[in-house]
Amino acid sequence: MSVTMDDSLKRWDVERLADLAARRFPSAGIGQSDAICDGRLRPVLVARIRTDSTAAVVEFAQALCLAFTQRFVGIEVGGRCIRVYADDTG
């Protein structure tokens, strides 16, 4: 999860992401990192989830957008990185 609204990440952000992941998946790895987003270096949370369901990952990304009030969440599915917006319906 990229912080797209120029906020810093806090410990409760990690705990919140872990809680949201635990409700949907049997396990997840969560780490903090930095990434270039829209041409700027930003803090990000990275969740590694093992699932066969692309739809479940997209739904999770949409839930993260809403829970963290973010414009989008970046996900990687099948080696492709894409942005998922809270209002994506496709």
Range of the domain at 77: 11-85
Q: Is residue 1 part of a domain?
A: no
Q: Is residue 52 part of a domain?
A: yes
Q: Is residue 67 part of a domain?
A: yes
Q: Is residue 27 part of a domain?
A: yes
User: For 16-75, what is each residue's pLDDT tens digit?
Assistant: 999 999 999 999 999 999 988 789 898 889 999 988 888 898 899 999 999 998 888 988
> What does the chain look like in DSSP terms, one character per residue?
-B-TTSPPP-HHHHHHHHHHHHTT-S-EEEEEEEEEETTEEEEEEEEEE--S-HHHHHHHHHHHHHHHT-SEEEEEETTEEEEEETT---
- Higher pLDDT pick, 43 / 7: 43
Whether the pTM exceeds 0.75: the reply is yes
Q: Is residue 22 part of a domain?
A: yes
Domain count, the chain: 1
Q: Is residue 5 part of a domain?
A: no
Q: Is residue 4 part of a domain?
A: no
